[in-house]
Chain A
Amino acid sequence: MALAALGVSARALRSRSWLLGTWQTQIRDTHQRASLLSFWELIPMRAEPLRKKKKVDPKKDQAVKDRLKKRIRRLEKASQELIPIEDFITPVRLLDKARQRPPVELPFEESERRALLLKKWSLYKHQEHEKERDAIRTMLKSQQEALQELQLMSPELHAEATKRDLSLFPFEREGPDYTPPVSNYQPPEGRYHDITKVYTQVEFKR
């Protein structure tokens, strides 16, 4: 009789339950049920919901990694040495008092001559600057006029003329020296020892 009742209840449950899993668990756990027809007792209602551990673990790992990175950064900052600028450091041997020249007292004529020469020089440089500026202005004007004429002649040629010339830069040229190069010059024999100090600064890139 119990078996028949069980079969009846099982068929009744089969029609009501829509989850395959719950149906199977219902059949499995039926020995724990209070009554045969109790359906809601089969579904575990009193237990806490299952804690999903997946979210917390990556967060913890990330936090640990960040802390480690912070520590490494602090260490790097502490150990960073700046490259010394040798021009700003006076060598100790030049701080000797014996090195200083006695102050020169200029006679009146000399100081006058210097003042007048400086005035002449400033005037000369001003004139030179004006000449250069005017020359550059004339050159630019001439170029602008030429481009205008070209525009009037043919717009296509003007468009091509106003394109950027990529082969122009980088433009390198050796400047004028005091004397021209000697054709049959024999440089003195010897080896070149390069004693420049090379500093390296270690930089960690994240």
Chain B
Amino acid sequence: MAAPIRQSLFGVAKGRWRFEGLWAGSLGSRSLALAAAPSISGSPWRLLGAVCLQRPPLVSKPLTPLQEEMAALLQQIEVERSLYSDHELRALDEAQQLAKKKADLYDEEGDEQNVLLTQDMEDAWEQKFLQFKPGARITEADKKNDRTSLHRKLDRNLVLLVKEKLGDQDVWMLPQAEWQPGETLRGTAERTLATLSENNLEAKFLGNAPCGHYKFKFPQAMRTESSLGAKIFFFKALLVTGDFSQPRKKGQRVWVCKEELGDYLRPKYLAQVRRFLLD
């Protein structure tokens, strides 16, 4: 049993051994606890289902300078090629009348004061617009950089990360759970979400198929006949409503965008996860 394992080790990339060391105690201790639940009969790999829960953006992204310029140009061209609107015609007529009145030296008494000039109308509209206070695109949570809050980075997708104590180390990862015989992998992912959120979160799973996978082998010390390593299958879900109730342990959960994933996840794991995250 030692020889084939050594051969597979030689075939493995250099970084993996180091990485496996980190996972050493983790699943080793878990595997002792869950020794009664084998993954698939005959296969030495343990099976885990994980959920990639994303909060979709609430607000559109800000435009880049090139996009701003282009938007301005398109607006200009549209105005140039259009016909005069009623409001503009009215403004032109009034301008003509004013010019006439200045040219004529007689002061015509009339309905000068009763006429509502277009300028007055525009000012009134402007005032009304200023009275409306829209919601802030950059929220307080952004300013504080409070990563546990859902109201941060409203223009990006936020992914849920969870810190779990595996053995003697704390590891950040996507929420996962061991597969139990009798359920589908998607069922495992849904169960993970339910246990994590205590049914406060409502998520829409995008299909039955996994979007990515990650497999790794346990280090030599932890390997047994039946567990050579583990395979994690990720399932994508979109957050519809709901949020976690007051977090009991503040350091355990984090909502993070794609760039910030590197601060939390391990390199190999991160590489696999980034493949299926669109930004």
A120 at the B interface (CB under 8 A): yes
Residues B207 and A157 in contact, CB atoms below 8 Å apart: no
Q: How far is the CA of A200 from the CA of B73 in the complex (A)?
A: 42
Residues B84 and A101 in contact, CB atoms below 8 Å apart: yes
Residues B207 and A180 in contact, CB atoms below 8 Å apart: no
One of A154, A160, A161 near B43 (C-beta < 8 A) = A154
Q: A100-B83, A149-B231 are in contact. Are A114 and B135 (CB under 8 A)?
A: no
Residues A146 and B47 in contact, CB atoms below 8 Å apart: no
Chain B residues within an 8 Å CB radius of A100 = 83-84
Q: How far is the CA of A150 from the CA of B134 in the complex (A)?
A: 48
Residues B58 and A180 in contact, CB atoms below 8 Å apart: yes
Residues B66 and A153 in contact, CB atoms below 8 Å apart: no
Interface residues on A, range: 35 or more
Residues B137 and A179 in contact, CB atoms below 8 Å apart: yes
Chain A residues within an 8 Å CB radius of B209 = 143, 146-147, 161-162
Q: How far is the CA of A206 from the CA of B97 in the complex (A)?
A: 65
Chain A residues within an 8 Å CB radius of B233 = 146, 149-150
B82 at the A interface (CB under 8 A): yes
Residues A117 and B70 in contact, CB atoms below 8 Å apart: yes
Chain B residues within an 8 Å CB radius of A154 = 40, 43, 47
Chain B residues within an 8 Å CB radius of A171 = 204
Q: How far is the CA of A94 from the CA of B237 in the complex (A)?
A: 51
Nearest B residue to A93, CB-CB: B86
Chain B residues within an 8 Å CB radius of A136 = 278
Residues B134 and A179 in contact, CB atoms below 8 Å apart: yes
User: Could you tell me the distance in whole angstroms from the C-beta of B8 to the nearest C-beta in chain A?
Assistant: 15
Residues A142 and B82 in contact, CB atoms below 8 Å apart: no
Residues A177 and B60 in contact, CB atoms below 8 Å apart: yes
Residues A149 and B215 in contact, CB atoms below 8 Å apart: yes
B146 at the A interface (CB under 8 A): no
Q: A117-B73, A157-B185, A179-B134 are in contact. Are A146 and B211 (CB under 8 A)?
A: yes
Chain B residues within an 8 Å CB radius of A94 = 83
Chain A residues within an 8 Å CB radius of B207 = 165, 168
Chain B residues within an 8 Å CB radius of A173 = 56, 238
Chain A residues within an 8 Å CB radius of B89 = 98-99
Nearest A residue to B69, CB-CB: A117
Q: A99-B89, A124-B66, A165-B205 are in contact. List 18 more A-B contacts (CB 8 A).
A: A99-B84, A101-B80, A101-B82, A101-B84, A117-B70, A135-B279, A136-B278, A142-B212, A146-B233, A153-B40, A153-B231, A161-B209, A161-B210, A164-B208, A168-B207, A179-B59, A181-B135, A182-B135
Chosen A-B contacts, 14 in total, with CB atoms closer than 8 Å, are: A101-B84, A145-B212, A146-B211, A149-B231, A153-B43, A154-B40, A160-B208, A161-B209, A165-B205, A173-B238, A178-B59, A180-B136, A180-B137, A181-B58
